[in-house]
Amino acid sequence: MAASAQTHSRQDLFDRSEARSMVITRQGIVATSQTLASQAGAQILARGGSAVDAAIAADAVLGIVEPMNSGIGGDLFAIYWNSKTGKLTGINASGWAPEKLTPAFLRRKGFSQMPSSGIYTVTVPGCVDGWAKLHARFGRLPWPELFQPAIYYANHGFPVTEWIHAYWQAEVPKLAANPNARRIFLSGGHAPAIGQIFRNPEYAKALELIASQGEQAFYRGVIARAILQTSDRLGGVMTASDLAGFSSQWVTPISTTYRGWKVYELPPNGQGMAALEMLNIFEKFPLPQWGFASADAFQVKMEAQKLAYADLFRYNGDPRFAKIPVQGIISKAYAAKRAATIDLQRAHCPVTHGNPTRFGSETVYLASVDEDGNIVSFIQSLSASFGSGIVVDDFGFPLQNRGAGFVLDAKRPDVLAPHKRPFHTIIPAFMEKGTIHIGFGIMGGLNQPQAQAQFVSDIVDDGMNIQSALEAPRFTNLSHGGCGFMIEDRVARAIRQELERRGQKLETRGDYCMWMGGGQAVLHDSVTGVNYGASDPRKDGEAIPEPGPYFTKNRN
C-alpha cells in the first residue's frame, strides 16, 4: 500500500488509538451515517451502478432512516472526481428564497430578524433537482432503480438506531407543534424508541412519483402542488413559478495547497472558503514538529478558526447578488497577514474580520467510490433538525428551514432577497496528493470548516489514516465568535489546562461528542486500484464495501 494511505507498524497496531480499522477493498465503498443507507449504496454498486448512483440511492434511504437531518425537502452539494481524467466537478443544489419573501414582507409580519423555523424559513428544496442533474451526467443505472431501497424501507419500516433516536427525541416539542409532523413522526405522542420499527408510507408515495416521473413530479407535478397547498395553508408565499423555475448550478471547486496536498471545497454561498483559509493559516506554523498532543498546535488551530470565521461571517453570500472576495480569502498572502496576528501565549477573544479584497445545522454527509475509483463527496441537509418543522401534506417529508441563514440587514451580503440562495453551512470536500485521492466531509452546521481543517491536519501533519483522523479528538466553536470552544475530553487534561491559561474558554465534552460532527471518508489509490473507507463513531453509520460479483445478482 502506498505510504500516503497510511501504514502502521505492528507495535502501532497493538497500541493504536483509533477504535476501528479502515474498510479496504478492490471494489467500491459507500460510507454514510446509517448502516442501512451504506448497505443500499453498496448494493447499487454491485448492480453495476456508478459512485453517483450509489450516492443518490444512499441519500434517498437516509431521508427515511435519518429523517430529521435529510430528505427531499432539503438541499445538497457534491463534488465528483473522475478517476480517468482527474477532473473535479461540483454541483450547488441549494434552493432560493420565494420571490415574494422579502425583508419588507417579514417586517410587515412583525419580524425584526429572520425567524429560525416556520413557513417563512422555507426555501425551494434543491435536493431532487441535484439528484437528477448528477444522474444525467454521471449515472449508469436506470433512474427508477435508485429509489427502490428507500421505497422499501419507507413502506416496510426499519428499526430506529441510537444516535438517530437521540436526535428525534430532542425534537419532540418541535414536531408536536405541526399536525402533519405529529401524526407521522410522533406515534402516540412519542419519538420512536431505539429498535422500534418506523414506517413512512406517505414518503414512499413521494419517492415512487419521483422514481416514475423524475424531478418534474417534485417541481411541477403532484408533489409541487402539495408543497404549495401546505405553504398556502400556513400563510407562506411560495408560488408555482418559484418551484418550476429553480435549477441547480454546476460550479468549479476552489482550492488551496497544504504541505504538498491540494484541498478542494465548493465556492460560496457555502462556507468552504473558511476551511481553506484555516489551512493556509495552519501552514504558517510548524504543526508537524509540534505534534497532535501539543497545546501550541491547538492554540494555533483555535486562533485560526476565529480569524477565518470572522471573515466568513463578514463576506459570505450568494455570488449572484454580491461580490465575494473568495480569491483574497483563500490566498497565501492574506493567510500570512492573518497568521501574524496570532499570539501563541494569549487568546484573542474579540476577533474582527480582515480585508481580503486586496489579496485576490443538521446534515448528512456521505462518500462513495466505485471500483473504477470515481469518488463522490456528497452532503445533504434540512438545515435544523426536522428543518422548518413543517411536513408536507400527503407526502410525509419535512421542508428545510435554510432561509433562516438570511439576515434582514441590507448592508450584509447575505441579506434576504427574492430568488437568492442563503448562507449555506453544508460543504463537501476533496483532497489529493500524487496517487492518493480522498473524498471527505464532516457534518454539523458551523462546525464543518473547522472540523474539516482539523481532519486535513490530522492526515497531513500527524500521519493519521482516514479512520483515525475521523476519530481523533476535536474542538468546535458553534457561535459567531469569541473564545468559547467545546473540546472532547480525550484531549489531555494538561493541554486543556494550558489552553485555558492562555485565555481559551473550554467546555469539556464526552469522548465522541455529537457537537464535533460525524464524518465519512473514502480514499482511492490510483496506482494499486485499492479503495479505503472510514466512518465516524459519532454517528450510527459505517463504511460498507460493495459485495464481490459472486454474491450479487442482476449485475449489468
Cα 215 to Cα 224: distance, rounded to the nearest angstrom: 10
475-476 and 484-488 beta bridge pairing? antiparallel
Query: Given this model, what pLDDT does residue 360 score?
Result: 45
Strands (E), 503-541: 505-509, 519-525, 531-535
Q: Which of 32, 121, 161, 363 is catalytic?
A: 363
Query: Given this model, what pLDDT does residue 1 score?
Result: 34
**Which secondary structure element, helix H or strand E, spans residue 96, and what is its range?**
none
pTM of the model: 0.95
Give the length of the chain: 556
Domain ranges of the chain: 31-250+363-425, 266-360+439-517
Query: Given this model, what pLDDT does residue 2 score?
Result: 40
One-letter identity of residue 408: L
- Secondary structure of residue 46 in the 3-state scheme: helix
Q: Known catalytic residue: 363? A: yes
Count other C-beta atoms under 10 Å from residue 194's C-beta. 14
Which residue reads 427515511 in cell numbers?
64
Residue 29: beta bridge partners?
369, 545
Count other C-beta atoms under 10 Å from residue 287's C-beta. 20
Q: What is the mean pLDDT of each run of 10 residues along the chain (556 residues)?
A: 46 70 97 98 97 98 97 98 98 98 96 96 98 98 98 98 95 96 95 98 98 98 98 98 98 98 97 97 97 94 96 93 94 96 93 64 88 98 96 98 95 95 95 98 95 98 96 93 94 97 96 94 98 96 90 55
DSSP label at residue 391 = B
Gyration radius of the chain's alpha carbons: 22
> 182: exposed, middle or buried (C-beta count within 10 Å: 0-12, 13-18, 19+)?
middle
DSSP label at residue 415 = B
- Secondary structure of residue 261 in the 3-state scheme: strand
Cα 422 to Cα 425: distance, rounded to the nearest angstrom: 9
What CATH architecture applies to the domain 266-360+439-517? Orthogonal Bundle (1.10)
Residue 524: beta bridge partners?
437, 531
